[in-house]
Structures are given as C-alpha cells and as structure tokens.
A and B are shown apart, each in its own frame.
Chain A
Amino acid sequence: MPQLNMVQAINLALREEMERDDRVVLLGEDVGKDGGVFRVTEGLFDRFGAERLIDTPLSESAIVGAAVGMAVYGLLPVAEIQFMGFVYSAFDQIFAHAARLRSRSRSRFTVPLVVRAPYGGGIKAPELHEESTEAFFCHMPGVKVVIPSGPYVAKGLLVSAIRDPDPVIFLEPTRLYRLIKEEVPEGEYAVPLGKARIVREGSKVTVVAWGSMLERVMKAVEGYDAEVIDPLTLSPFDWETLLASVRETGRLVIVHEAQFTGGFGAEIAATVAQEAILYLRAPVVRVASPDVHVPLAKLVEHYLPSVERIRGTVDEVMKY
C-alpha cells in the first residue's frame, strides 16, 4: 500500500472521484494549469482538462457563488479557496446562500458543494495565511465543517464530502500537508462525516483535538492514561462519542489552535457541562491560542498550543 502525505492523499481522492463521476468539477485560483499553490491539484489538469479543472479569476465570492449554482444544477463542484484567510469575501455566498438553499427551497434541492481551504498555523507566515476560524462556519446552520488530521482520513473524508448532499467546508491543516506519511489505499473507502474517531484509548482523562493539534496532543499525552478523540467533523459534532468518553474518564481537556474566545472549544465545554456535569472530576479546560492575530515567525511558536503547554494542562487536570 502506498505511503502518501496529505497533499498526495487529497490529490488521489480528487482524481478518483473525478474518474468515478463526471459531475465532479474543480474550480479555484491556480488549481488547473499551475497545479495549486500547495500542489494539491497537480497533474489533474492534464488528466481532466480545462473544462473540469477550472482556473478562476481572483474572485472568491464568485468562486463559491458559481459553485453554488453548479451544485444546484446537479454538478458536484469542489471549490478551492487558496488560503482560509481568503474566504472572507466569499462569506456572503456561503452563509447567505449555500447554507440556506436547501431550506429556502424546502428541500426541493440541496447544495452538494465542497469548499476546500488550507488552514491553520505553524508554516511561519503571519495572520491571513495561518487562519483557523473554523468556529465561524460551525455557527452556520446548513453547512458541515470537516477537518482531517492525517492523509488516510483526509482521503476518506473528502470522498464523503464530495458525495454529501449538503455544503461541506473542508479545512486542510497546512502544517500537516507534508509532515506525516501514512498508508493510503487506492480505490474506494469513505470515512463517514459526523463520526468521531477514538485515536487512543484511555480511562483517566479525555483530550479532544482536531487538525494539526492532534499530532501535538499525541506527543503530549505520552505517559498518561488519556483517551484522545479526533472529531474529524466539527459540525455536525459527534456528541455521543465524546460524552461517552467523558462520562468514563470524568475529565476533559479541549485543544484547538483557534483563538480562545468563541472558539469551538467553548461549544464543547458548554455541551459537556450541560450533559455530563455530574460525571466530571475536574473543570473542563481549554488549551487554545490567545485572542490576538496570528503573529509572524518565531512568535507563532509562543502563540500556538505547544506540546509542553498541552502536557502541563493535562497534568493539572489529572492532579485536580
């Protein structure tokens, strides 16, 4: 079985889905002839041509808006936003239209659209090129939010996202693009949306983390009897898996690289408080980035939750 990094795994998912179904089209800035700034769509232009690998102008609003139109007509567009920090001018098309057309049409049609975007910090570029504002999208009814944490799940989740009848925001942690290699099978397999994955079993503390934080969490919990949960899909969230784990361990640490205030960790903490407070042996604690814009270069290492910070927090919660 081939060892692939996340860029290759996503490329493979796109290629196989395009081969399987000619309704799948890709559009975005430099995705075609150039192969994408992170080389995710490399080789697809030669294979599928300009009709299905659509190089767009720098018009994020039109990229998403046009993809909504394609999706409503029955195509399966995969739109790429070059960096998550560029998505804001497309916000209106996502929030005001993509998210609502199923409801607005009273389910006479859905919007089977995927918006892919590289996201997250740790590539030593500041702010707009390192955004992790996934919580914005989790706040939107009508869209799903998926964040893979490695090559294998990235491929399987993207396949599910493409086949899903509703709009999916698919956020690819840039720091992981080439960091991890895994066995990724060719051919069909799907990782279901809305289903969390227990990455490591344990009984004394639950740690939930997604995207590039998972890799740090796995290092941080070494030596602890910790259960690690990777939600994979933030919206809709797999509460069942998380609550079952927390009821067992009685402790919860939430780790995300997004800023603290209003981050998705707040939603998790609130729901756990509501559904499982009597099981808790320690306060639910969030490890997140501070409420500032992502800084440059060296400071970003102070900004992002580090292995040490995560371990320190797990330790405090264990000793509580």
Chain B
Amino acid sequence: MDSKLRAILPDQELLKLYQQMVLSREFEESCAEQYTKGHITGFLHLYSGQEAVAVGATAGLHKDDYILSAYREHAQAIVRGADPKRVMAELFGKATGICKGKGGSMHLFDPGLSFMGGYAIVGGQFPIAVGLAFAAKYRKEDRISACFFGDGAVNQGTFHEGLNWARLWNLPVLFVCENNFYGIGTEVHRSSALADIHKRACGYDIPAVRIDGMDVMAVYEAVKWGVDWVRENSRPYLIEAMTYRFRGHSMADPGKYRSAAEVELWKARDPIVGFAKRLADERIATGEQLEVIREKAAAIVQEAVKFAEESPWPEDDEVYKDIYV
C-alpha cells in the first residue's frame, strides 16, 4: 500500500510530529496535576485537544518566523523548541524558568526562538504581529509573523485593526485562528455575528481557508502552503483551524456550559489517537514504537517537574529587576 503520509513527509519527520503532540499532551496533563497540588498557581489554561494546531503549524513555519500566541501557549513554546524543564519551572514561578519565574503560564517569551510571547489580553498580539512583520519587511529579512489567536479574539478591535493594516501595507503575516468554539463559557455563535471566522478576512481582502484542526497533517499542509504564499506575495493570509479543548477554559472553569456528549464526541476525534492510527495503518510505526515515544515524552515531563520542584525561588530582589525604577 502506498503511504499517503510518506508522500508528504519522511518517516522521521512524521514521527517527530507525533512526538511533539504527545509531549504537549503529557506536559499539559502534568500541569493539571501540579496545579491541583498547588505547585502551579494563578490561571492555568491547558492545550489538551488542540495539539495538532501548534505542532502542524510550527512544522510548516520556518525556524526564524515569529510566533505570537495567546495565553494557552505552553505547547506553542515547547514545540518551537523551548526546554520543557524551563517552561515547567516558569509555571511554578521558579528562578530557573524561561522568564525567570516572573511571567508564569500566560506570558512565556523566548526571543532566541523567535517566540514573541504569550499574551494574556485577548487580541493583544494582533498589532504586535503586524509591527514585527512590518519591521521584517523594512529590513528586507526573509521572515514572516505567525499570529495565533482564538475564536474569542476576533471581536476585539485589534483583530480588525491588525487585519486591515496587514493588507493595507501588504505585510507578511500568517493569521492562525484556533477556533475551539468557546470563549471561556460563551459559544462562538453567541459572541460572533458571523461565526465562520475565515469569512471575516474577506472584509479586509485577505484570502483565508478553514481547515480541520484535529488533523496534524491538514494543519501542516495548510500552513506550509500559507507560509509559502505569504512569503512569495508578501501579503497576509488567514487560516481557521477547527479544534476543541478537552479541558475547561482554565483550571478554575467548572465547564457547565458544554454537554458531556459534546465533549465525548470531540474526544473521539483526539488528534493524537487519530494520527497514531494513521501511522500504524501506513506502517510507519508499530503501536509498540509509538508507545515508546509516549513513554519517553512522559519521562521528559517527569524530569521537567522534578527540575521545577528542585529549582530555587527567585530572590525578593528580583522584583526590582528588568524594569527601570
């Protein structure tokens, strides 16, 4: 049997996508446990269920392309290359964290990886992504901005302002909407007059597509095509990936607004399970090999938790650093 997957990527790359999705899931589920234990405090928004988007999209981007995201961004950072140990330490608020334990879950940042931040204010990232793209074009650098956002963000003024500017000045921005159907507890059709978010790009003369965000290969192919198009034309493009979060908005969310049947329906489309089946069906890996990948990912996460636990707290003095006072 011809492998459809192999026609797109070599085995090694396919397994890397699987590894990244599994690592993301293990990481997030471990975060939930650490939150319950009180090791992670504040607001914790988990990515479980949406892995195909971050993993497929990051694979489709070039290494130097900027990534900006919202506050559900642990996986985005890790998949881009952030060390899970230092991300976990950040969530704990430890000195060894990726942001010295001062930013926490919602404000991950690593300019060395061109990871330009999680943004806790919904829609805060749009104009910044546009500005980065402007600067890249101005400096004639081969770099685009990938701006990830949720379905809730499209009703902020910054979405409309950002899209308009991006097209007006023909800036290389790839907008990626992760439509998981809910802004906290409010369904997308109860907050958006036009719930088909990709269609909104028409209002700014930006081409757009809606894709299956539970299928990592669909995301990869769409993003790769989009990235090439944005580069070639130096113009913005928008992708709407339909996805679902398996957990509540945050750990504090009782999640009464969704029926158990609805959640189960989407869990049956788990992006990891689905991809594992395809890898096995196309004889790219056996179930046992995939299980080894999962175990290794779990060990990485375990090590990350241990690192975070054993890391020191920041000194009180740290409060006064990284700002002029």
Contacts and interface: CB of A to CB of B under 8 A. Distances in A.
A173 B103 CA distance: 22
Contacts of A29: 183-184, 186
Contacts of A69: none
Interface stretch (A123-131, A179-187, A278-286): A123-131
A85 B93 CA distance: 20
A277 B114 CA distance: 56
Contact of A58 (B152, B314, B316): B152
Given A55-B190, A126-B104, A127-B107, A296 B123 contact: no
Interface residues of B, number: 40
A302 B43 contact: no
Contact of A124 (B42, B313, B319): B42
A37 B256 CA distance: 12
Contact of B186 (A55, A128, A297): A55
A303 interface: yes
Contacts of A30: 183-186
Contacts of B156: 58-59, 89
Nearest to A303: B319
Contact of A33 (B93, B183, B186, B192): B186
A296 B185 contact: no
A122 to B, nearest CB: 11
Given A37-B252, A85-B121, A296 B102 contact: yes
Contacts of B190: 33, 55
Contacts of B120: 85, 127-129
Contact of A55 (B157, B191, B316): B191
Interface in A280-307: 290-293, 295-299, 302-303
Interface in B148-202: 152-153, 155-158, 183-186, 190-192
A89 B103 CA distance: 21
A203 interface: no
Given A59-B156, A89-B156, A129-B120, A124 B41 contact: yes
A11 interface: no
Interface residue tally of chain A, by bracket? 35 or more
A130 to B, nearest CB: 9
A129 B93 CA distance: 15
Contact of A56 (B103, B191, B319): B191
A298 B93 contact: yes
Contacts of B13: none
B122 interface: yes
A118 B98 CA distance: 29
A126 B42 contact: yes
Contacts of B260: none
B319 A292 contact: yes
B319 A58 contact: no
Interface in A29-62: 29-30, 33-35, 37, 55-59, 61-62
Contact of A126 (B107, B155, B191, B318): B107
A291 B43 contact: no
B93 A292 contact: no
A95 interface: no
Contacts of B157: 59, 61, 89
A133 to B, nearest CB: 14
B155 A299 contact: no
A298 B270 CA distance: 36
A298 B314 contact: yes
Nearest to A59: B155
Contact of B42 (A296, A299, A302): A296
A293 B318 CA distance: 12
A109 interface: no
A128 B107 CA distance: 10
24 contacts: A33-B186, A37-B253, A55-B186, A57-B191, A58-B123, A58-B155, A58-B183, A58-B191, A59-B156, A85-B120, A85-B121, A86-B121, A89-B121, A123-B42, A125-B42, A126-B104, A290-B319, A292-B323, A295-B102, A295-B319, A296-B42, A296-B103, A297-B41, A298-B313
Given A290-B319, A296-B41, A296-B101, 16 more contacts: A35-B185, A35-B256, A37-B253, A59-B157, A62-B155, A85-B121, A89-B158, A127-B107, A129-B43, A290-B320, A292-B320, A295-B102, A296-B93, A299-B313, A299-B316, A302-B319
